[in-house]
Amino acid sequence: MTLRQAAPRVFRASQAFLVRAQDMGEADKRLVFFTESSGVLNVAAKSARKSRKRFGGTLQKYLLLAISWTERGGGMPLLASASLVESFWDIVEAWDKVRHADYILELVSGLFPQPGPKPKAFALLLRLISALSSGEKPESVVRKAEAAFLSLGGWGPALAACRKCGREAGGGPRKGADRVSFRFVASEGGLHCGECVPPGGGGVGLSPGAIRTWRAIQSASPAALGRLRIPESILEELRVVMPKYIEWCLGKQFRSIPPV
């Protein structure tokens, strides 16, 4: 008997979203889920390609699932069951929603790759997928996802003040902060005011309104995010900055390129 055969089988369960699927052999699939209890989860789904009855046709994106799986030794976990909790399938009715939803799923799995419980990240993911399904503008949902996941994962960035001189950023006009320009510098994980920008420039300019909006998303609860309305001009500013900062943090681009 090998060590793998002797190892006890462990059963686990969680709510989950499917992030991606890949054919494996003639009948099986390799699935990547983002789960509430275990974060990113790679499992093998036996006979998933041969029979839809095996998992009841639930192995699709944009569905909130209740899944269970078994773990034994060092082998890949095996999916045991999958049942539907809530459907956001109307996302597939519009290609714009599909590509934004795919990006959000890849974003959360990329920013939270470590195994272990991820209840806050999962609650936020559920809120964002629900907002996308319910008709909130996809560009708004994605910008909220980027800022909120970055903050929750400890990636920042620091947006309260200039990283060099400490000048307050994004304040109201009575404090005079709106008369000072700021630039976001990815390598610094924060802002430089106009007086501290090195010769030749660097970074990307952000208006006080964009800075305040980014900070508001960072501190908002998942429920409060749904009440936050972002003007088109600020969405455009954040679209230029946020995906590039995420790429700098992780050192790679996602398969799903941020929509432009």
Edge to edge, the sheet with strand 158-162 lists 158-162, 190-193, 182-185, 204-206
Band of pLDDT at residue 73, cut at 50, 70 and 90: confident
Q: Is the dihedral of CA 228, 233, 238, 243 positive or negative?
A: positive
Question: Alpha-carbon Rg of the chain, whole angstroms?
Answer: 21
Per-residue pLDDT at 179:
61
Q: Are 78 and 43 in contact (CB under 8 A)?
A: yes
Per-residue pLDDT at 222:
86
Q: What are the structural domains of the chain? A: 1-87 (2.40.50.140), 93-260 (1.20.1440.120)
Q: Which range is least confidently modeled, 45-49, 89-93, 153-157?
A: 45-49
Give burial (CB, 10 Å; 0-12/13-18/19+) of 227.
exposed
Band of pLDDT at residue 23, cut at 50, 70 and 90: confident
Q: What one-character DSSP code corresponds to residue 7?
A: S
Please write the tens of the pLDDT for every residue from 225-247: 989 999 999 999 999 999 999 99
Q: Percent of the chain having pLDDT more than 90?
A: 71
Please write the tens of the pLDDT for every residue from 184-217: 999 889 999 988 887 766 789 999 999 999 999 9
Average pLDDT, the chain: 89
**Is residue 257 scored above 70 in pLDDT?**
no
Q: Which residue has the tokens 């989860």?
A: 41
Q: Percent of the chain having pLDDT more than 70?
A: 89
